[in-house]
Every structure is written in structure tokens, then in C-alpha cells.
Amino acid sequence: MNEIVLLGLNHTTAPVALRECLAFSNQEAVESLAQLGKDPAVDELLIFSTCNRVEILMTSNNISAAVDAAKKHISTFKRIHPEEYEKALYTLQGEDAVKHVFRVASSLDSMIIGEPQILGQIKEAYRVATENKTSGVILNRLLHRTFFVAKKVRTETGIGGSAVSISYAAVELGKKIFGSLEEKKVLLIGAGEMAELAVEHIIQNRASDIYVANRTFRRAVALADRFQGKAVHFEEIQDVLKSVDIIISSTGSPSFIISHEMVKSCMKMRKNRPIFFIDIAVPRDIDPAVNRISNSYVYDIDDLKSVIDENIEERKKEAIKGERIVDEAVIKFMEWYQNLEVIPTIVSIKNKLDTIVKSELEKTRSSLKHLPEPDLKTVTRMTDSIIKKFMHDPTLFLKGNGCHGDKAFYLDAARKLFKLDD
């Protein structure tokens, strides 16, 4: 019988340097599927690699041989000595492997719990495996269950609920202030990855005009180009404050760029329309006193971080519900998997025939009331021997070598043919 085995390492077991070293690009994954898939110990195979993990999922008759083959493949393919990565490696079998796959896809095992990309990445890895014909009955079933479980965890728990990145947290806050970010005007002061990401997220929420200010005007023009916005001089900020709604600031300035006075004086012109400052810079660009002006809100990097921390706590609580959903799914999957043995399948088919024959006999008997008891026994003997004869060939086939190498496939087909699993 083929067993499920998983070999992997992730962000908790391996440092980033090692993960970088072992990560498989798409092309490498395809090559590896072909090479490792040829190994006689490896039956079904799926390789899943992201920046936070590498997982090799296999089914095999001979687990230790398959694991050795996989390790050997990693060493030769990646030109790395086994000693360097072996400590970071985990090997899971059967139920543990199934649970691990479910948890990873549901993002319960992610660095940021609930992050949504992982499911898409697993789907892609599965697609590659099916294209290269390295997945079979067991992995097909396992992966389909995985997608189902992951979706269920996402919809039934709040695991992906509130923002856990600075830029998303800023967007969420903006929505609590403005209702929607549609038609809102944005000013970006300075530059920086986090600030630019926040601007992008705000644009995705259909903000209208984007202004970019930078000490180096050339840089402002370049960024404005990217966001299809308008570059403004640093000296124009005061003027722009009269019309923009959201200001994202991220400069290297040692002193405040936006003072209490500047905001106070523009509020009148704004007719007190709310204004929201997101200060990503350290040291800060916006005087914290600006938060005291009515209808003006200032969040600095620490404020946003504490929002995120709270949300992460929230997600961890929700993850407990997710674990329960995963546990349930593991039990169901293992039921199916264990029935995929030869004896239970043969017994199930025989039982099904028995019940059909019995109920038909009952029906016939009620219309044959004149039939004496001994004759009835003869008829029963006859049906029994029909069942036996009928079962003979399938039993030989499933037990014997008729389906050798691909037993799981025929067992699954048999179970489907006789509808044994519902």
C-alpha cells in the first residue's frame, strides 16, 4: 500500500539563507518532478516551494527509500551537502503529513497567519504536478481536499480578517475615517517601499488625484509618473494640504515637515473636512500635536504597528477555529485513505452485494408464499454462491499482481464503480 510522506523545511526550521539556497524556481520544480519522479521508490510527487518553505510531498511503497531519494535529489540538484540542511528538515508520514498540508494551505503554518497567497501557490504547484503527470489518485484526492479545507478555514474564521501589514492597516483606518477612499486625494511626501505600497493600496481603492512631493524634484517627477499623479515642490505642501485628504509621509528629514500651525491654518480652507496623516518616517515627519486638531488624525509608524499587533493577536485566536476545521478534515481524509486498502475494499463490495441480494430475496419471497422452507434454503445457497463466484475475479485482481504498481488507482476506481464511499 502506498503511504503518504512529506519532506520539508520552513521559516521556523531554516534560516533565510538556507531557504534561498534550497528554493525551487518553477523551472527547477518541473525538472525535479521529472528526475525524482523517475525514482522507483517514488510513486506520486508534488514539489511546493515559496520564499518561506520548500515541501516535497510523495506517496511511496517504501518510505525510507523515497525519503533517501528525495534527499539525494536535493543534494545533487542544489549542489549542497546533506549535512547543511538535514537539521532543518522535517519528515512527516501519513496522518501527520496530511495535517501539515491542510495547515499550510489554510495559512495556519504561515509566517503571517492568514496571509492569502499560500493557497494560490499550492494550487499552482499542483497544476504543475498534474501537467507533469506526477500526481495520482492519492495526491489528487489529498490536494482537492486541501483546497476545500483552506477555503472553509478562510470563510468560516476571521483568520484573514483585519490588516496585518502597514499599508493595509493604513487603508483600513482610512476607511474608518472616510467611509470609502473613492475620490479621495492623496499626497505622498518622500519615498520608500512601505509608503509607496500604501499609495498603491489606496489607488486600488479608487482614490482620485495623487500628488508627490520630494526634496529632489526629479525623484518626485519619477514617482508621480509611476502613480500617474502630479509632482509638486516641497514648498507647495502647505498649499496642497488645503485639498488632499490623505497624506503619507516618509522622508529622512530630521525635523517635522508638517507642523501644527500648517494644519491648523488649512483646516478653515478645508471647511473642516477630515484629513488623515500617515507618518511612516523615523524620525517623524508630522508633529504629533496635529492629532489634537479636530477632524485631523495622525498615525505614526508605532501606532500602525500596534494596530497590526492587535490584529495578529486576533488572527491567532481565529486560528484555533481553523485548527479544528483542519482536524475534522484530517479524520475524514484518513477514513477514505484507510479504506483504500485491498481487504476493506473487497469486504465493502461483498457487503454491498449481500445487502442487495438479501433485500431482493425478501421481496421475491413475499410473492412466493407457497415455497417450502427447504427449497428456500436451496435458493439462498444459490445466491450465496453467485456472490462468491462474482467476487472471485475482482478479489484476485486487487490482491494479486494484476494491478501492480498502481494499486491505489484501481482501488479508487473500484470504490467509485460500486459507490462505496458515501
In angstroms, what is the minimal distance from the CB of 268 to other proteins?
Answer: 8
| CA distances, 145 to each of 137, 158, 163 (Å) | 12, 21, 28
Give the integer Cα–Cα distance in Å for 29 and 35: 10
CB of 6 to other proteins, least distance (A): 38
Q: Which of 237, 242, 138, 120 is nearest to 188 (CA)?
A: 237
Active site residue 403: no
Regarding 205 and contact with other proteins (CB under 8 A), the answer is no
Contacts (CB under 8 A) with other proteins, residues 282-321: 291, 294-295, 297, 299, 303, 306-307, 310
Binding status of residue 233 toward other proteins by CB under 8 A: no
CA angle 96, 114, 103 (to 5 degrees): 10
Site for other proteins in 39-68 (CB under 8 A): none
Binding footprint of other proteins, residue count (CB under 8 A) = 22
| Residue from the set 175, 226, 399, 416 that interacts with other proteins by CB under 8 A | 175
Choosing from 21, 51, 266, 403, the catalytic residue is 51
Per-residue contact track with other proteins, 258 to 287, x per CB under 8 A?
----------x-xxxxx-------------
Closer to other proteins by CB, 227 or 299: give it: 299
Q: Is 179 in the site for other proteins (CB under 8 A)?
A: yes
Q: Judge contact between 45 and 135, C-beta under 8 A.
A: yes
**Between 110 and 296, CB nearer to other proteins:** 296
Q: Which residues bind other proteins (CB under 8 A)?
A: 173, 175-180, 268, 270-274, 291, 294-295, 297, 299, 303, 306-307, 310
Q: Which residues are catalytic?
A: 51
